[in-house]
């Protein structure tokens, strides 16, 4: 009964639009106050210990990397190269949209950052080339889902810290699923553009292709620094985040596109976003302690085993639960709430913790495209001047290929586990 009251209170506060951090803290603090033999000192200890973690230092650094990439002129050079690479293929702008998200995801790790940065550039450009506004916004929103799956992924860091698994293993586990997302979106673009002769473009000259390649080459070197450095043992994921920031800053200075004003604004935005995330981490740490003390994972495990002993059915039920949670709660907050509860149950069903992390992240980020929260929808509407109903209508068809990718990742574990296993992570 106590467990139900705490969990119920959290969801009531969330539905009332109370900030996630306080929705987690208030019922948990009340529990501590009313629990026999506990004091507020216990609550403070759990709150502070949750954010006292060296791996969490990577979060503000990767956030800064994404913001720096947005303001340093990198996107323009990247899209110029991709446009020339796809040449005269019908639907070029659609392929550039998805490919740009793949490359940009190596520098941001967050769907909202990708949607804001790429949406402000790509959606107006696609509309000028004859693409429907809803399709352009929907494709940009769907392709921004690649960011939180592809390393460096901020949700992956949060899951790894909460679940006690290797950040490096989870980074590499997300690479194949991220390319799978890109593949299913490529198929959708092909189906959309195959009968639209007006969506082609003039063949680029060899000189233009070579020029854009030289200008964008440093951008393509970013994943070598991050992933190559981690895999080669040169630095930890946290140190890789610092190296990525320095590399983006150097590119911005070299391109003469990173102004002092933009640099200072990036610091301010990074501090604001980091503060929001770490406050949620603090509240989730106390909530997780309450769940553990009240045997929440055991209760859920008994309930799930009462429903089924089939791991495939469990994974299907878990997907439904996570999709519903993702529709209401931002992914980082949702991970911090659900991982302590679902991880022990999933392990009982024989699900690998790294595989579980990719499943959970993919489920929850898809929630960013679905009302009532759907933060990516609101971001796209604000940065593209496309009204919200049009953005929503344009996004809904893209949920189909995203769900196809989700089911493949869920029921074929090797999609996630192949690279970590091959690399010995």
Contacts of 220 (CB under 8 A, 6+ apart): 103
User: pTM here?
Assistant: 0.79
User: How far is residue 23's CA from residue 12's CA, in Å, rounded to a whole number?
Assistant: 8
Residue 309 backbone phi and psi in degrees, to 5: -115, 5
d(CA 381, CA 401) in angstroms, rounded, equals 22
CA distance 200 to 233: 45
Specify whether the backbone of 38 is left (phi greater than 0), alpha (psi in -120 to 50) or beta.
beta
Distance CA 372, CA 328 (A): 7
Q: How far apart are CA 97 and CA 349, in angstroms?
A: 39
CA dist 425 and 421 (Å) reads 6
pLDDT score, position 9? 85
Helix 414-422 and helix 399-411: axis angle, to 10°? 60
Burial status of residue 392 (CB atoms within 10 A of its CB: 0-12, 13-18, 19 or more)? buried
Predicted confidence at residue 301, as pLDDT, reads 66
pLDDT at 418: 92
Distance, in Å, from the CA atom of 366 to the CA atom of 405, rounded to the nearest integer, reads: 11
Per DSSP, 152 falls in state S
Residue 280: closest CA among 341, 342, 343, 330: 330
Residue at token pair 């509407």: 381
Nearest 5°: the CA angle 160, 163, 164 is: 75
Q: Exposed, middle or buried: residue 339 (CB in 10 Å: 0-12, 13-18, 19+)? A: buried
At 50, list the tokens: 């949750």
Alpha carbon distance 266, 272 (integer Å): 10
> Of 137, 101, 157, 83, nearest to 335 (Cα)?
157
Check residue 234 and report its DSSP letter: S
Task: Evaluate the CA torsion angle 337, 340, 346, 351 in order and state its sign.
Answer: positive
Q: What is the pLDDT of residue 199?
A: 65
Q: Which pLDDT score is estimated for 208?
A: 72
- Kindly list the distances between the CA atom of residue 244 and the CA atoms of 54, 176, 241, 249, 331, in Å, as whole numbers in the listed order: 17, 21, 5, 9, 23
Question: Token pair for residue 261?
Answer: 């004003």
Under 8 Å between Cβ of 328 and 17: no
Q: What is residue 233's DSSP assignment?
A: T
Q: What is the mean pLDDT of each run of 10 residues along the chain (425 residues)?
A: 77 78 84 76 78 74 76 72 74 83 77 74 79 87 88 85 87 92 92 74 71 75 76 76 82 79 83 80 79 70 73 88 80 81 87 93 87 75 80 89 94 93 83
Dihedral (C-alpha) 104, 107, 109, 112: value to the nearest 10 degrees? Answer: -60
Contact 368, 281 (CB under 8 A): no
> For residues 201 and 90, is the Cβ–Cβ distance under 8 A?
no
């Amino acid at each position: 009964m106590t467990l139900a009251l705490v969990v119920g209170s959290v969801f009531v506060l969330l539905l009332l639009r109370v900030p996630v951090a306080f929705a987690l803290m208030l019922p948990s603090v009340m529990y501590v106050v009313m629990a026999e033999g506990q004091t507020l000192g216990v609550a403070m200890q759990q709150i502070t210990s949750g954010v006292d973690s060296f791996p969490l230092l990577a979060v503000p650094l990767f956030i800064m990397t994404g913001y720096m990439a947005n303001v340093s002129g990198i996107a323009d050079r990247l899209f110029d190269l991709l446009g020339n690479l796809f040449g005269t293929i019908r639907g070029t702008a659609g392929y550039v949209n998805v490919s740009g998200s793949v490359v940009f995801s190596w520098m941001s790790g967050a769907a909202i950052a990708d949607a804001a940065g790429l949406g402000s550039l790509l959606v107006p450009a696609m509309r000028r080339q004859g693409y429907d506004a809803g399709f352009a916004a929907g494709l940009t929103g769907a392709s921004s889902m690649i960011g939180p799956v592809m390393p460096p992924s901020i949700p992956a860091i949060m899951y790894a810290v909460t679940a006690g698994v290797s950040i490096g293993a989870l980074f590499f586990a997300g690479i194949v699923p991220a390319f799978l997302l890109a593949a299913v979106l490529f198929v959708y673009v092909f189906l959309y553009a195959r009968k639209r002769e007006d969506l082609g473009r003039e063949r680029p000259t060899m000189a233009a292709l070579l020029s854009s390649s030289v200008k964008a080459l440093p951008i393509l070197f970013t994943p070598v620094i991050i992933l190559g450095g981690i895999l080669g043992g040169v630095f930890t994921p946290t140190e890789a985040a610092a190296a990525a920031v320095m590399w983006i800053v150097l590119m911005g200075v070299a391109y003469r596109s990173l102004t002092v004003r933009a640099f200072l604004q990036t610091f301010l935005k990074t501090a604001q976003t980091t503060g929001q995330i770490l406050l949620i981490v603090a509240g989730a740490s106390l909530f997780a302690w309450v769940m553990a003390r009240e045997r929440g994972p055991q209760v859920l495990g008994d309930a799930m085993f009462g429903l089924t002993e089939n791991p495939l059915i469990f994974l299907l039920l878990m997907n439904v639960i996570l999709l519903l949670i993702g529709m209401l709660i931002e992914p980082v907050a949702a991970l911090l709430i659900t991982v302590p509860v679902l991880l022990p149950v999933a392990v009982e069903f024989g699900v690998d913790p790294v595989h579980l992390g990719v499943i959970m992240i993919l489920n929850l980020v898809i929630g960013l495209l679905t009302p009532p929260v759907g933060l990516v929808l609101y971001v796209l509407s604000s940065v593209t001047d496309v009204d919200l109903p049009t953005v929503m209508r344009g996004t809904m068809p893209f949920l189909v290929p995203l769900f196809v990718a989700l089911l493949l990742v869920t029921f074929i574990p090797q999609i996630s586990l192949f690279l970590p296993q091959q690399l010995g992570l």
